[in-house]
Structure 1
Amino acid sequence: MNADPERASGLWEERWHPLREEWVVIAAHRQNRPWSGAVVSIDEAPKPSYVADCYLCPGNKRVGGASNPDYESIYVFDNDHPCVGPEAPEDVVLPPGPYKARRANGLARVISFSPNHSLTVAEMSHKTISEIVRVWQRQTFELGKRPEVNHVLCFENKGEVVGVSNPHPHGQIYATNFVFKTIEQELTASRRYHQETDRYLFADIIAAEQADGRRILYEDEHVIAFVPYFARYAYEIYLAPKRCVSHIYALRDDEVEALARGLKNVTVRFDNLWQMSFPYVMALHQAPTDGGDYSPFHFFIAFHPPLRRPSVLKYLAGPEIGGGNFISDTSPEAKAAELLAVPTIHYREREEEQ
């Protein structure tokens, strides 16, 4: 089934988001409307491999006073300004009903992906990306075993437009005494779907994407990456193992290597789209770690890029913030076609070869 991307960009319909159990309005005819609102600029000035005042570069002093070792690969440390942590006050003042309060317990960590200040995931080797995946595995397993931790969220915020203050390639881990709301929604949806159909929701999502084919960006024996049918952001991508596992640490070695190849493919496509370091929020969607039965939950990685044009953000406004329903200004099929059309060799690497 091959639809013309230009024709698909005129879509105007609602699509069901089965993981969130809500409707997404696809109003793709609005993408090319006249825009006189705010625009953003992306700093594409070359970055050095080391910056003396960067708190993530090897050997430098961090904002909390500790110094980084002269690390040569991946470096993980406790966040100097955690949102949850063992030092959170225990004497929480309980408010009158209907309000509630509890201690913000857990652990927050930072993963410096590389000692090289200028190197993003898209430009890393497959070997380095595989090492990042294995760090996610170890951290999820080790932190998830702690009695005060009920969920482990690994994520990367990339680019100034998503609020990143330090461009050094890094991600974060929040190991919390609560389960993040999106995971709760996806878990509820996955359980309900399994109870009603005796089938697994994400497996059927993968099957539906394979049957259509237009939105698949990368696929091998073990993993698949696609712009979901119900995408809320213009260039939203899901990357998932084909085998249903609830946590990243359950992946086999061959699946880890495949996931690394998928991460490379997706991030290179992003950068090559407009030949710039593409901003995004990337999050690992994993089941809780409290020992419950989460077999219907399928681990996956989601990319949420904030741009719908090279200089135009997807702004959340009345319908999203006030109404609670997402409106997408783009067609998932057209955006997937754009990403499929770009090379899978990073543009900077091609420039160096010329």
Structure 2
Amino acid sequence: MASGGGDAKSLTQWLREKGFDEETIGRMTRRCKNLPNLDAGEASGVWDYLLNHVKIEQRKLRYVVTKCPKVLTVSVDGKLIPTVQCLTTLQAKPGEVAQAVVKFPPILFHSVEQKLCPLLAFFQTLDISDKQLAKLLMVNPRLISYSIEGKFSQTVDFFVSLGIEKEGMIGKILTKEPYILGYSVDKRLRPTAEFLKSEVGLQGTDLQRVIMNFPGILSRDVNKTLRPNFMFLKSAGFSKDQIMALVAGYPLVLIKSIKRCLEPRVKFLVEEMGRDKGEAVDYPQFFRHGLRKSLEYRHKILKQMNSTCSLSEMLDCNQKKFAMKFGLIATV
């Protein structure tokens, strides 16, 4: 029954040899009630498989076992091997399965037939390929623990209610932002969408475009992040229509740091560049550019040359193209 040469020693002794101290062993024992009854040889077999076949680094494997000691109780032949093989056949890249286990060790506990197969079938209805599903699971392995009816279907129905097509479009959102599936529709996604509609003023295709381009905005807390940014832009003199245009053109304006990004850029635009705030509305990506490396540098060059241009002409190019455009280097 025991394997890996550990049958002559106690589990506690074996854990000590693997680098676990007494306090950690005690915590692991309290967390996993079956651990004290585990044979050291069986634990050694699991450890060796995860170390040598799944290729989890020893330091990270120690973290996995500390975080989830139940891993040591899983049958290698009956559970670990078929689960790992299934994850690997999803076209996961080398090393990704190991990363997924480190992120979410319980991925090893779920039944291939009862969880992975229905999950594959569900995502196929959203035009998500096996390869894309592999990416989703490798990035956010916790997905395997969610209920299809209780979690995934609700999220899909929510996107459909916003006018986003189930086939193709929703799949693109999920592959772009895998963690969005972990958020509650009622507690996070819907309130955020309502804020974007009612307070920011985004409707129809504008709202859909924002969500398609930056789905992560739906996972942000309205009161902690989005509304403070909205109120700052309002206090800075932008009208509601202008804020709506800014968000539609560059959604990240609602999540950028006010102190480190928005405030210094608005101040520089008005006080140093002498431009109207409306120019940022015409080119919302203005808030994407670095203050010192891009804005200050290029403004200084244009000022020295006594040259004027729009924000997009000034910023919508890399440094080399900027230099060529304004004659700083000879064109080839």
TM-score normalised by the chain length of structure 1: 0.22
Give the structure with the larger helix fraction.
Answer: 2
Give the structure with the larger strand fraction.
Answer: 1
